[in-house]
A and B are shown apart, each in its own frame.
Chain A
Amino acid sequence: MSYKFSPALEKKFEWLKSRYPVQDAVLIPLLHFVQNEVGYLSLDAMEHVAEKMNISPARVKEVASFYSLFRFEAGGKYVLQVCHNLTCYLKGSDQLLEWMEKNMELDDSGNSKDGVFRVERVECLASCGTAPVIQANNWDYFEELNLEKLQKIVEALRAGKWACASYEDRIQEGSVA
């Protein structure tokens, strides 16, 4: 088993446990912290969580697999979640997706060949007033997009010129919630 909680996460874990009368309730917040550290929920990360919480690894996977924000494979440095729900569709999310598929060299699971991006189609991101919307790394919202804006954002991200932090950057900054 190679993954272990960082000292900061150990502290967070203790704090989380103090907030609930039943320890099981910390599982989902804890998995978010772990995913932010590792980038995804790897098998050994889930095993470590199970050991720490004194539940079976299958139980961890059972719960985590229900939720669409947990990832079980390493993905791109920037995970771009493109909303394709009603309002974003009305405002042109299909054109955004089409452009991304054509120009970003994505494989079947949405990962770009260079490993920089992972594109996911998601349902409503609760920002319909400023549709169409993309959220990067569950973090920054890019709103009122059009092809021109999207192109600029993708170029800026690829060149590392955007403030939108990757998981690793965020951990170093200490800005991971």
Chain B
Amino acid sequence: MSQRIYEAHPLENRVVIAGYGEPKSWTLDVFEKKLGGYKAARGAVKAEPDSLITTVKDAGLRGLGGAGFPAGVKWSFIPKNPTKPVYLVCNADEGEPGTFKDRQIMEHLPHRLIEGMICAASAIGSKTAYIYVRYELRLARERLEQAIEEAYKAGYLGENIFGSSRSLDITVHPGAGAYICGEETGLIESLEGDRGQPRLKPPFPAISGLFGGPTIVNNVETLAHVPGILNNGPEWFVKLGNGTPRGAGTKLLCVSGDVKRPGFYEIPLGLPLNSLLNDICGGPLEGRKFKACYPGGSSSPLLRADEFDTPMDFDSLAAKKTMMGSGAVIVIDDSRSIPEMAMRTARFYAHESCGQCVPCREGTKWVSKMLKRLTMGQGSFSDIDKIKSACNNMAGKTICVLSDACAMPVVSMLEKFRPEFEAIAKPDDEVQPALPKISGQMAALMSLVRERQTQK
């Protein structure tokens, strides 16, 4: 489980991963004494909840798991006098292809997440919190569990934390390999011990979520930013980014694929994509040129290389009809085939569709099959339009956005790289209708039938 630890690049600004690479940064001792940890939590447990929410709202902290919804606003949706217990859930089901940022926080700075959760729980009045972690992230789970144990022993979790009247219990809850559990209501279903199929909204989780109580679901990175904001004030956080309240703070980006130095980098929001890929990541591999990239995980529509001057912040990316998402930049160079990437993207969503809504369950599979056919040289020109029409019937027609997450990048590839699809497609009359490959039980059954027939 090694990630290369580079020295921070001058263009980077390490805030949420400050202290990364410090020996034993995951222990309470180092976190508290060397990295100044738990200062914000000490104040937060005694502060007025409303003032905490206002501070986070003013800072413009946005949900960094993908949606970008303002965290303080989300917190303020919790009813003032709830009749049921309020829950805080940390979404650590990092599953978006290309993303490996939350892992770094959990493995190296688990106490920063715990501190963030203490602050958030104080703001929303929650006494019970869960961290829903992908089971695959073994080291992250272990380090979190150790950190939670240390925090209980130190009196930072449990009853009367930091000598205040507040109490908070945190439990690490493992997932079991389902991408859809990263969707907040799917996660809640899974946490309740059910199949992780998303719920219809409304009611939103802030009104009725986990075990029927008001619930806030926040991403790891979002929660880990909270202590810094409480310590340094909202203006500090706004200045970290591009200077506007809608582009405040820093963002952990995970760069992977065809670049010289893949890895995760914490950049101020608004840094141009070019600068990230060429200056920080060392540019394309020898003898190759950038072709395109997914700027925010596999769900985000692609940007062509000539669009790499886009600043990496929520609004600038939205203006280019793509999104910040989870901040996973997957870079594709000129040696790669876009239809192949499209097929792998669609296949992922076909595999991960929970099967509740027909447009998604069927659509993701059709699209992935048609793309497979194209990449195998058995697709026709009309398939290209069929894929597009299927995608148009998937987006915005389902309970959650998994269906959109499949349709959006595929449509962007069809629009921006159509000649590549056309180059591998054949005229309609040259394509043989594909015969299904028969194997397994069906083949056994058919041979049995044939045997019987010959016996007669």
Contacts and interface: CB of A to CB of B under 8 A. Distances in A.
Contacts of A67: 175-178, 196
B336 interface: yes
B324 interface: no
Interface string A149-177: 00000000000000000000000000001
Interface in A118-176: 122-131, 135, 138-139, 141, 143
Interface residues of B, number: 64
Contacts of A19: 169, 171
Contacts of B296: none
Nearest to B332: A90
B393 interface: no
A125 B136 contact: yes
Contact of B195 (A24, A31, A66, A177): A66
B97 A108 contact: no
A123 B351 contact: yes
Interface of A: 19-22, 24-29, 31-32, 62-64, 66-70, 84-87, 89-91, 108, 122-131, 135, 138-139, 141, 143, 177
Interface string B130-143: 00001111100110
Contacts of B202: none
10 contacts: A25-B192, A26-B193, A32-B135, A124-B97, A124-B98, A126-B134, A126-B136, A128-B257, A129-B262, A177-B138
Contacts, number: 152
A21 B211 contact: yes
Contacts of B96: 124
B2 A27 contact: no
A86 B85 contact: no
B193 A28 contact: yes
B177 A69 contact: yes
A112 B3 CA distance: 31
A125 B345 CA distance: 15
Interface of B: 1-4, 85, 94-100, 103, 128, 134-138, 141-142, 145, 169, 171, 173-179, 190-197, 211, 254-258, 262-264, 294, 298, 328, 330, 332, 336, 340-341, 344-345, 348, 351-352, 354, 439-440
B94 A126 contact: yes
Contacts of B169: 19
A28 B439 CA distance: 33
Contacts of A108: 439-440
Given A32-B135, A86-B294, A123-B95, 7 more contacts: A25-B192, A67-B178, A87-B256, A123-B179, A130-B3, A138-B135, A177-B138
A63 B354 CA distance: 12
A129 B263 contact: yes
A127 B256 CA distance: 9
B330 A87 contact: yes
Contacts of A139: 138
